[in-house]
Structure 1
Amino acid sequence: MQSLNGKKALITGGSRGIGRATAIALAKEGVELGLIARSEESFEVVRNELTALGATFVTAVADVSKEDEVQQAIKEIEDQLGGIDILINNAGVGVRGSFQELSTDQWKKVLDTNVMGIVHVTKAALPGMIEKNKGDIINISSMSGLKGTVGSSAYSASKFAVVGLSESLMQEVRQHNIRVSVLTPSLVETDFTRGRDHEPNPEKFMQAEDLAEYMVSQLKLEQRTFIKSAAHWATNPF
């Protein structure tokens, strides 16, 4: 197991839900954090929590669907942290409705955030990892990225794309000692899933903190094997 102490991590959607839980879990391991979210106000809770832990962190406001905002935010974070060792592409949006009900604008919003958001952030952060010849990239997909369901055509399509993007990127950057992982959790209790009237049983939800702990445990491993399963890490061994 390797220590994460002193590493620098960038987390998108870092102010709440899975991103917030992951930030706290990594801070407890001594990781320095760069957090991106869409609004300044959303950072209030996680800032207080990280300050209480004595963590080193930087926050930046950006909509990941907008490439210029992403580039500026990541430049600010890299300038203050001195580089990025771990990238967690967590930011995402969802919309429910039948294929016929969803407008093309709704489709565009989901794809621009869930797919192009990962493209924008990774393109901005990857050169620094290649220069250092090391790094970890974790992309958050979903079980909806493995199996489509009624009412989730746009969300599911975006999350299938995240899996394919991750698997291709993995093969391209492994030569630079960079590991690419894709995580496909089922229902996680966050603002996005809380109160869904079609899912009345709260016991079916996993907690964001559990997923965060899982990511920390995987990041600590010296080697990981490419696995294809229901809640899988798609990674390259080295």
Structure 2
Amino acid sequence: MQSLEGKRALITGGSRGIGRATAIALAKEGVELGLIARSEESFELVRKDLTELGATFVTSAADVSQESDVQRAVREIEDQLGPIDILINNAGVAARGSFQDLSTEDWKKVLDINVMGIVHVTKAVLPSMIENNRGDIINISSMSGLKGTKGSSAYSASKFAVIGMSESLMQEVRPNNIRVSVLTPSLVETDLTRGKDSDQRNPDKFTQAEDLAEYMVSQLKLEQRTFIKTAAMWATNPFE
């Protein structure tokens, strides 16, 4: 397996949940980190984590749904770290409710962040990957991108789109030695998925953000000649 030490990774939604866990896991491998999240205040906890690890990192607050905001943030990060080797498109939101009850604004928010956010960030990072003839892009989709369920029409639509976009991009950039993967986890215990009963949940029964982070590190360490296109992660036995 290849070493990740000295590589540079950009993680969206990098201040908490899967993004924070992935930042910590990559920092332990010697990866330099650029983190994007919506607000400066949200970085407080992950900054503390990474400082304690002695990691090299840069944070930049940006709304991934806004192309100009993304371009500014990526410039700030690359000016300090250099060209990005690894992109983790993790930022996402959900809107729950029946198809009829979800408003146009609900749909627009979910699609702008979950789909166009990936478009904006990837477009900002991809040129340097192509120039360097090397790179890794991991897009976080969901089991909702493989099977729609009641009350998740907007979220499912966005996550189906992520899978299609990822597969098309993968075919385009394989000749540039760029590996594009998509993850489709089932329920992961994060702020996005926690419900009112989360305090009663046994963490050993549900997939945790750290589990996804550990998997992504292992995938990135595969020799450059191969990659895993799609991976579905499930909790082994979430049933009481």
Say yes or no: TM over 0.5: yes
> Could you say if the C-alpha distance between residues 9 and 230 of structure 1 is closer, same or farther in structure 2, counting changes exceeding 3 Å?
closer
CA shift, 1:184, in A, is: 0.4
- Tell me whether 1:82 sits opposite 2:82 in the alignment: yes
Give the Cα–Cα distance (whole angstroms) in 2 for the partners of residues 98 and 33 of structure 1. 39
- Structure 2 matches for 1:26-175, cutoff 5 A? 26-175=26-175
Q: Is the 8 A contact 1:187 1:204 kept in 2?
A: no
| Residue segments in structure 2 that go unaligned for 5+ positions in a row | 235-240
CA shift, 1:197, in A, is: 6.0
CA shift, 1:205, in A, is: 2.2
- Structure 2 matches for 1:10-21, cutoff 5 A? 10-21=10-21
Q: Which residue identity lines up with residue 206 of structure 2 in the other structure?
A: F
CA shift, 1:196, in A, is: 5.5
Partner of 2:2: 2
Give the Cα–Cα distance (whole angstroms) in 2 for the partners of residues 77 and 101 of structure 1. 40
- Tell me whether 1:212 sits opposite 2:193 in the alignment: no
Name the count of aligned residue pairs.
231
Give the Cα–Cα distance (whole angstroms) in 1 for the partners of residues 131 and 77 of structure 2. 17
TM-score (normalised: structure 2): 0.92
- Tell me whether 1:224 sits opposite 2:226 in the alignment: yes
Q: Is the 8 A contact 1:85 1:135 kept in 2?
A: yes
1:162-209 per-residue CA deviation (whole Å, 9 max, x = no partner) reads 0000000000001111000000001110001111669x8655520100
| Residue segments in structure 1 that go unaligned for 5+ positions in a row | 233-238
CA shift, 1:210, in A, is: 0.8
Q: Which residue identity lines up with residue 133 of structure 2 in the other structure?
A: N
Query: Sequence identity, in percent?
Result: 80
SS of residue paired to 1:195: coil
Give the Cα–Cα distance (whole angstroms) in 1 for the partners of residues 56 and 70 of structure 2. 21
Q: Which residue identity lines up with residue 185 of structure 1 in the other structure?
A: P
* Poorly superposed stretches of 4+, deviation over 6 Å: none
1:75-112 per-residue CA deviation (whole Å, 9 max, x = no partner) reads 00001001100000000000100000100110000000
Give the Cα–Cα distance (whole angstroms) in 2 for the partners of residues 112 and 34 of structure 1. 22
Give the Cα–Cα distance (whole angstroms) in 1 for the partners of residues 179 and 188 of structure 2. 24
Q: CA RMSD in A?
A: 1.7
Moved more, 189-198 or 169-178: 189-198
